Amino acid sequence: MTTTVAATAPPPAAPPADRRLRTVGGKFYEPYRVSVAEYRTFREQGFLVVRGLVDAEDIAELRQHTEDLMQGRLPEQKSNPMGERDLSKETGTTAQGLEAPPEHLSPEEKAQYFLRIHMLHRKLELHERYLLHPRVLDVLEAIMGPDVLAMQTMLFLKPPGKPGQGWHQDSYYIPTHPDSLCGAWIAVDDCDELNGAMWFAKGSQHEPVYPPSSGYGYGDRRLADIREVGGVSHPDDRHNDLARIADRYDQVLVSAKAGDVVFFGGHILHRSKTNFTADRYRRAFVSHYCNARSFTQWTGGPTDGPNAGAIDPETKMANGLHILARGDSHLPFAKPRFGTNCAAILTAEERRAATEFAARAMGDMDSGMMGMEDADPYATDDHDDEPAANTPRGPYSQARTADALPADVPRPTALITTR
């Protein structure tokens, strides 16, 4: 009797790494390619606005999430109620936790209990997903990558009447070495001058980071004549020393529509002002990143619990707390707690394969010439074809050997050029 054994189907092959990284929350995101003009704009003015980078479906999800959070509907808020407090004493840097507002308040009053919440990507899947949004990472990969480390999230609610944050530089708060910090500000609401859009001192990305006269903050203290500053982030320019530096530059309002994303470097001076409207919010999902090859001691919060052991005891390096979003790194990095697709979930071989182009670009290393050739310093030009007979030529191009040079012309040394 012959026994028939059913063939076992092989497990489905994993999709290519690039397609996996572009599929987040079950949704595939088409790539965004940064143009040369956008790249130059970011370098020249210190910030870049990419219109409509995040689609309407994602913005609707973020907007609903903020509504639920401000009303205390998230399950994670239930066990952590807020106490009542004097809201008039809060500033533009006052932050809240994942807490529920007092239940007896009206919906409008509950919303007033929130301005900003930090680092929720370590607690909520949705925040991790938008920190690692593929189209946001596409832009970052082009302007400060290709290796991208995802460090921080901030959710700004900014209901009517809430204050803004005065002039500041983000690298003052989040130092990286080499300095490669970059922010990505996703507009959840349309924003303009009335409801507290951002202002930038265009071109101030060339300024050093000014250190604090006291208290927390990083600065470029190695510069001989660097000045210490006080009142950083204070909304009143009279009490913020960075206002005098911002006054050297054109100060531009950056209005945005929901779905636009503003990218800005860690040195550029920027601020926001009060939401003067009676019925409009100015919500934004903001994340910060650095090149994954940069060293940082910035932790972003507690270093116990799930973060225990991620800090290097000798150097205090904290890279191991932050998620490798794109590319690769020789430094430690974290994996996403909620499993969001990103470079950190790839194998080392997959990450290496994606970055081998850098090694190939180095050319011929056996000779040490990296693909370059000796140049003939007496050649007419760098091309094989000769110029027209009547083309004027200097003493070097006219001479075919050193001996043929005029006596008063210095003998050149050998040159190296690419071919």
pTM recorded for the entire structure:
0.83
Does pLDDT of 363 surpass 60? Answer: no
| Alpha-carbon distances, residue 220 vs 49, 158, 212, 266 (angstroms) | 28, 32, 10, 13
Give per-residue pLDDT as tens, 231-268.
999 999 999 999 999 999 999 999 999 999 999 999 99
Domain with CATH 2.60.120.620 in the chain: 17-360
Question: Which CATH code, of 2.60.120.620, 1.10.287.110, 3.40.50.2300, 3.90.950.10, is assigned to 17-360?
Answer: 2.60.120.620
| Axis crossing angle, helix 134-143 with helix 36-45, rounded to the nearest 10 | 70
In this prediction, residue 303 carries a pLDDT of 76
In this prediction, residue 405 carries a pLDDT of 56
Give per-residue pLDDT as tens, 210-227.
999 999 999 999 999 999
Within a 10 A sphere around the Cβ of 320, how many other Cβ atoms? 14
Does pLDDT of 330 surpass 70? Answer: yes
Average pLDDT in the 277-283 region?
97
In this prediction, residue 59 carries a pLDDT of 98
What pLDDT band is residue 307 in, cutting at 50, 70 and 90? confident
In this prediction, residue 56 carries a pLDDT of 98
| Range in 165-174, 353-362, 384-393 the model is least confident about | 384-393
What pLDDT band is residue 418 in, cutting at 50, 70 and 90? very low
In this prediction, residue 3 carries a pLDDT of 45
Does pLDDT of 396 surpass 50? Answer: no
Average pLDDT in the chain: 87
Average pLDDT in the 60-65 region?
98
- Cα torsion 148, 149, 155, 161 to 10°: value is -70
Do the beta carbons of residue 291 and residue 147 sit within 8 Å? yes
What pLDDT band is residue 15 in, cutting at 50, 70 and 90? low
Does pLDDT of 373 surpass 70? Answer: no
Give per-residue pLDDT as tens, 103-162.
999 999 999 999 999 999 999 999 999 999 999 999 999 999 899 999 999 999 999 999
The encoded tokens of residue 87 equal: 């809201």
The phi, psi pair for 256, rounded to 5°, reads -145, 150
What pLDDT band is residue 272 in, cutting at 50, 70 and 90? very high
Within a 10 A sphere around the Cβ of 409, how many other Cβ atoms? 13
Beta strands 261-265 and 47-50, pairing class: antiparallel
Does pLDDT of 8 surpass 50? Answer: no
